[in-house]
Structure 1
């Protein structure tokens, strides 16, 4: 009969063996991702050529000073207003119907195209031609939309005024 195992001896790899295993893993990863690593090295080379790496290096070396300056700038009253305005703009954009905005922007773009084309005409616009233009359905549609926007804005401003008082 065999002798019972009473002691288990753990064999720890030597530092040289650990280093050899690490190098083997690294070479394997390089071989698997060679194309990506070459692209990454190309990007790093371009960043170095443009001086961005030098700037990043300087920022990282002075990160405490840079962070202090950033915090001071963020605490300026104008920065608080910018952040609040930015949040209000995003809320406003989120409340709008994208299809309506697309339609409105298409109309504005087309109007700008017509205005710049007319600008190169060298023809003066008379009051008579403006009056005739008011009869056109396109002009009536635009004016109706603008008046509706003004009415809606006025209603909102009036509500705010009444709410404050």
Structure 2
């Protein structure tokens, strides 16, 4: 019959052997991932040349001061309104069909260009010229859109708020 094992000898690695194993493992990882490491180093070099690493280093050194200033600014009532308004603006734009928004924005841009040209003329506009302009089909189209817009806006603003 075999003898029972009463003692287990565990061979502890020395610090030097542990260090050698760590170095061996790191070299294996570097070898296996040399392309990724090379790309990362190139990115870091570009960040250094652009001065971004210096800026990040400065931000980290001043993090407590920057943090306290940021918190102070965010806690102002006007900032709360800005954040709420930002969410409402995003929600508003999200409700508009992309094609409609593009058409409207293009119209605004073209209207601004025309307005700029008109203001460069530096001539006085008579009432007769205003009435004549009102008969222009483009002006009539814009006015009909504008009155429809004002009508819808008035309907919404006239609704009573639920309490």
Shift of 1:26: 2.4
Map 1:43-62; keep pairs closer than 5 Å: 43-62=43-62
Q: Which residue of 2 aligns with 1:20?
A: 20
Q: Which residue of 1 aligns with 2:80?
A: 80
What CA distance in whole angstroms lies between the structure 2 residues aligned with 1:40 and 1:19? 26
What CA distance in whole angstroms lies between the structure 2 residues aligned with 1:140 and 1:87? 35
C-alpha RMSD over aligned residues: 3.2
What CA distance in whole angstroms lies between the structure 2 residues aligned with 1:46 and 1:40? 10
Q: Which residue of 1 aligns with 2:105?
A: 105
Shift of 1:92: 1.4
What CA distance in whole angstroms lies between the structure 1 residues aligned with 2:30 and 2:156? 62
Shift of 1:121: 8.1
Structure 2 portions without partners, runs of 5+: none
Shift of 1:122: 4.5
Map 1:126-165; keep pairs closer than 5 Å: 126-127=125-126, 128-159=128-159, 162-163=160-161
Q: Deviations for 1:87-134, whole angstroms, at most 9, x for unmatched residues?
A: 111121222222221221232234344555x45984858555543443
Q: Which residue of 1 aligns with 2:92?
A: 92
What CA distance in whole angstroms lies between the structure 2 residues aligned with 1:126 and 1:74? 48
Q: Which residue of 1 aligns with 2:67?
A: 67
- CA change 1:82–1:12 in 2 (3 A) is same
Shift of 1:54: 3.1
- CA change 1:74–1:122 in 2 (3 A) is closer
Structure 1 portions without partners, runs of 5+: none
